Amino acid sequence: MQQQSLKLTDSFINLLVNLPETGMGYQIVKVVLKSGQILHQHKVINSELLMLEPNEKITIKDIDKIELDK
């Protein structure tokens, strides 16, 4: 099964561009949804594509904030 991705908004892209990469061309982030749910250890490629698990059904409007996952 192909992994789904979600194109981030310019505001999230600008935030992530100014944060360090976890590896070459990607960051591991924590995604906080407006519902209060937190998604840990998600990969963002090139600061713009959030990779989703096959069972995750979220839209860009569901995201409250994104930060690096420690």
**Alpha-carbon distance values, 8 to 1, 23, 38, 59 (Å):** 22, 19, 17, 10
pLDDT at 46 over 60: yes
Average confidence score pLDDT of the chain: 95
Mean pLDDT (whole number) for 7-34: 97
pLDDT of residue 3: 76
pLDDT band of residue 11 (cuts 50, 70, 90) is very high
**Alpha-carbon distance values, 58 to 4, 23, 24 (Å):** 10, 25, 26
SS3 category, 62: helix
pLDDT of residue 70: 80
